[in-house]
Structure 1
Amino acid sequence: MSRVRAGGVPSGWRAGAEASRQEESVHVMKDEGMTVYLAWTSEDLPDLEGPWHEARLVAPGLVAVDSTESLSAVYHAIKWSLEGEASLIVVPVHQTPKSRGMAAGTTRWLRERTARQPPGANIRGLTSSD
């Protein structure tokens, strides 16, 4: 299990350029049994423990996790860590998403764990010739 600390820095990660260097030295192979999930909540994320290998705070209220567990297992682990009736949505990420303004290293982290969109594919997965 992995943790994300409140305050925005995942456990085991140091802020700033040192964190970027640490991340660059780690190469993760795509694991066929591993799924990346994005979870957003309306509350600040507390210390999170759950059925994932790594959890990464990518923006306020938004965390990315990689797990071999089901969507339901990841959703419930996050839900049970929140107080009250916080809004929550968790979705699997099967392709590297387009993003901007996320925490340093987020795009690389996602690319290492998700499939790239095929050249010429549009948002529905159709090629321009379809």
Structure 2
Amino acid sequence: MDGDTLYLVYLDAGAALDDLDERNLAQLAPGLYLVASTRTRSELYHAVKWLRHPSRLLVAPLADGPKFKGMMPGALGWLRWRQGEARRGSRPALR
């Protein structure tokens, strides 16, 4: 995870990123994802654009993990794991 940048990615709610070639991503809500990537913002933007051809797309780097409530089960655990706050155990399962 060293060298990864955390991005907030928003695209059409019906477009999933399950097959995006990224090691680390967590769905927060339909169409809303946190993605940890070594790609630049432009590279990630174009990868999503070419993969899904969404009518709406936003890719924004985050300086720190966001605060959130009411998102998909497992998303907060994934973020804590990614930030190294959950030091023991394996990567949490996401739904």
TM-score, shorter chain, exceeding 0.5: yes
Contact 2:15 2:52 in 1 (8 A): yes
- Which structure 2 residue ranges, 5 or more long, are not aligned? 86-95
> Larger RCO: Structure 1 or Structure 2 (Cα < 8 Å, ≥ 6 residues apart)?
2
Counterpart CA distance in 2 for 1:37 and 1:99 is 15
Query: Are 2:7 and 1:41 equivalent residues in the alignment?
Result: no
Counterpart CA distance in 2 for 1:47 and 1:95 is 22
Aligned mate of 1:104, from 73, 76, 83:
73
- Which structure 1 residue ranges, 5 or more long, are not aligned? 1-30, 117-130
Structure number with larger C-alpha Rg = 1
Deviation at 1:52, TM superposition (A): 1.7
1:69-100 CA distance string (max 9 Å, x none): 111111111111223x6111011122121101
Deviation at 1:35, TM superposition (A): 1.5
Give the % identical residues.
34
Matched length: 85
Residue identity opposite 2:60 in structure 1: V
C-alpha RMSD over aligned residues: 2.3
Counterpart CA distance in 2 for 1:55 and 1:89 is 15
Length-normalised TM-score, structure 1: 0.55
SS in 2 for 1:79: helix
Counterpart CA distance in 2 for 1:57 and 1:109 is 10
Query: Are 2:71 and 1:88 equivalent residues in the alignment?
Result: no
Aligned mate of 2:41, from 71, 81, 84:
71
In the TM superposition, 1:13-52 aligns within 5 A as: 31-46=1-16, 48-52=18-22
Length-normalised TM-score, structure 2: 0.72
